[in-house]
A and B are shown apart, each in its own frame.
Chain A
Amino acid sequence: MLHGVPMRRRVTLPAFASTLALLASLACGGSYKAAPAPGPDSGPKVVTGTCRDYDYATRTLDLVAGVSFALRMIAFKLHENTEISVRGRRAELSELQANTVLRIEYRVTPQGNLADKITVVLDARGMRGP
């Protein structure tokens, strides 16, 4: 009882709208089968993105990557044996500058993301032309 009114099951607006939407979908002949959720990602850790910034002192870099407008920034640490290459040759740290597109193979560790191999995919000059 609530304020003397018998308790009744109330239909909420979202539920009502969902029902309407479902009916509308059915009216359009639509239906779909849900797929089971995929398991945890167990593949190699590789990401391609653009270097936002590189700090030579701390040997860290920030990379922007993602899908369409769903973007994320990923911080990486380089270790002594991090391999850097561009077009098949060993590259210098100085080539890890902002606007450079990088492919990074890395490991997730308690200390953060450790980059094992960094390949320069497209340097900043590559943006200028087609």
Chain B
Amino acid sequence: MIRPVEPIGAIALLAGLLGTIDCYGAQGAGTPLDGLTADQRDRFKQGSAVFAKVFAPKTGLGPLFNGVSCKSCHNQPVSGGNGSFTQLNGSVLLPNGFCDPLADRGGPVFQLSVTPALKAALGITAEPIPAEASRGMRTTPDIFGFGLLDAVPEATILAHADPDDADADGISGRVNRFFDGRVGRFGRKALTPTLAEFTEGAFHVEAGLTVPNILKEGTVGGKEIPAGVDPVPEPEVSEVMVALTNAYVATLAPAQPDDLDGTAKRGQRSFSSIGCDKCHLPSLRTGDHPIKALANRQFAAYTDLLLHDMGPELADICQGLVATPSEFRTEPLMALRLARRYLHDGRASSIEQAVELHGGEAAHARDAFRALSGSDRRALLRFLGTL
């Protein structure tokens, strides 16, 4: 007789096995930034262990969750990379103009897994999402080089914004704002202001783990979790563990682009000439930073961290104080060559298809891409494939 494998056991087993496959190093991705001090490198190592730590219900997982560890989602091709999991977001645009993240009903992220105890108590296998919610699917991005994005001064983001298209180039660029009014930059709609908050929030939202800054368990569709379902005392993740995870995530190096051959260099020129670089800014510069390796450094970002209207075909949900359903933050193209699915919801299976699906403010660049000769299109795609 074969004993049925419990879903959580299977997930944890898979995550455990993934943890054995690599430390870091494939294609230069997953390595620490150059120039870290010995102490910073040590914290990177310790943080990578927390990132890979597999949680179970008895160590605080859930009761609602999407993954059993950070690495269970971010693992392709190495820790910190992209992954196959797709997250479910929901929101409702209220008549008064407020983009309701459904915080009183479990939103904006609706978890797709539950612990056995919650399943036994409520008979559910995922968090219920309100029927009136607009839905948005989000692929798991890689997080290589995100510390550099975090270190870009807010003034730089604001300087590139052109909310009313004052220069009449057909491209605006708006700043999203978090619920406390700060400028957002992380997440597909630039909701979250800082990388540290993004990481902390992920512990809570993706793994159902409480952290010192978020001591209350999430709800199940807005209702308190039944008594006894998650008896692990708060916080389930210590301040030290959160700090080490932040240190790891912040100092993950960007994946090194491949060398450009002649064709790719031609494609790079087309990238600029057809206007891709108006939103996908090839480089950004960080400001002062306590970690020297992150300070005052020019890096290949390929984003302006601003919201752009991408047209009705890609539209899904509103988010934050500014982002409309059709607005998305310019996706950084760092480590683009490591992706296997493209666009926010993974609907494109190739870079070319992703370009073809650009609309709204990007329609002009998309049409210019279509107008390129076959040879020039291939050159541009070759360039993008080096990033």
Residues of chain A having any CB pair with chain B under 8 Å: 12-14, 16-21, 23-38, 41, 48-53, 62, 64-73, 97-99, 101, 121-122, 124, 126-130
CB of B237, distance to nearest CB on chain A (Å) = 9
Query: Smallest CB-CB separation from B98: which chain A residue?
Result: A98
A17→B12 contact, CB < 8 A: yes
Stretch at the interface among B49-57, B258-266, B333-341, B356-364: B49-57
Instruction: Give chain B interface residues in 172-191, CB to chain A under 8 Å.
Output: 174-175, 177, 179-181, 186-187, 191
Q: What separation, in Å, do the CA atoms of A53 and B99 have in the docked complex?
A: 11
- Selected from A19, A35, A101, the residue in CB contact (under 8 A) with B179 is A101
Residues in A with CB closer than 8 Å to B96 are 53, 97-99
Query: Smallest CB-CB separation from B241: which chain A residue?
Result: A32
CB of B55, distance to nearest CB on chain A (Å) = 9
B241→A21 contact, CB < 8 A: no
B163→A99 contact, CB < 8 A: no
Could you list 14 further interchain pairs (A-B, Cβ under 8 angstroms) beyond the known A30-B50, A68-B202, A124-B97? A18-B56, A21-B54, A29-B49, A48-B179, A51-B98, A52-B94, A53-B94, A67-B204, A68-B198, A69-B187, A70-B218, A99-B321, A127-B321, A129-B164
Chain B: interface residue count, which band?
A: 35 or more
Query: Smallest CB-CB separation from B99: which chain A residue?
Result: A99
B132 within 8 Å of A (CB atoms): no
Tell me which of A24, A31, A37, A98 has the highest count of chain B C-beta atoms within 10 A of its own C-beta: A24
Mind listing 19 A-B residue pairs with CB under 8 Å?
A14-B56, A17-B9, A17-B54, A21-B16, A25-B52, A26-B49, A27-B20, A30-B48, A32-B50, A37-B233, A67-B204, A69-B202, A72-B103, A72-B216, A73-B103, A101-B180, A101-B181, A130-B163, A130-B175
Residues of chain B having any CB pair with chain A under 8 Å: 5-6, 8-10, 12-17, 19-21, 23-24, 45-50, 52-54, 56, 69, 94, 96-98, 100-101, 103-104, 107-109, 158, 161, 163-164, 174-175, 177, 179-181, 186-187, 191-192, 197-198, 200-202, 204-205, 212-216, 218, 233-235, 238-241, 244, 321-322
Question: With A16-B13, A38-B212 in contact, is A30–B52 under 8 Å at CB?
Answer: yes
Residues in B with CB closer than 8 Å to A12 are 9
A66→B233 contact, CB < 8 A: no
CB of B48, distance to nearest CB on chain A (Å) = 6
Residues in B with CB closer than 8 Å to A37 are 212, 233-235, 238
CB of A12, distance to nearest CB on chain B (Å) = 7
Q: What separation, in Å, do the CA atoms of A72 and B107 have in the docked complex?
A: 9
Query: Smallest CB-CB separation from A25: which chain B residue?
Result: B49
Question: With A21-B69, A68-B202 in contact, is A28–B108 under 8 Å at CB?
Answer: no
Question: With A14-B8, A68-B198 in contact, is A32–B244 under 8 Å at CB?
Answer: yes
A28→B161 contact, CB < 8 A: no
Tell me which of A34, A127, A128 has the highest count of chain B C-beta atoms within 10 A of its own C-beta: A127
Q: What separation, in Å, do the CA atoms of A107 and B182 have in the docked complex?
A: 25
CB of A79, distance to nearest CB on chain B (Å) = 23
B179→A65 contact, CB < 8 A: yes
Query: Smallest CB-CB separation from B58: which chain A residue?
Result: A14
Query: Smallest CB-CB separation from A3: which chain B residue?
Result: B1
B54→A18 contact, CB < 8 A: yes
B214→A13 contact, CB < 8 A: no
- Selected from B16, B21, B46, B200, the residue in CB contact (under 8 A) with A18 is B16
A31→B12 contact, CB < 8 A: no
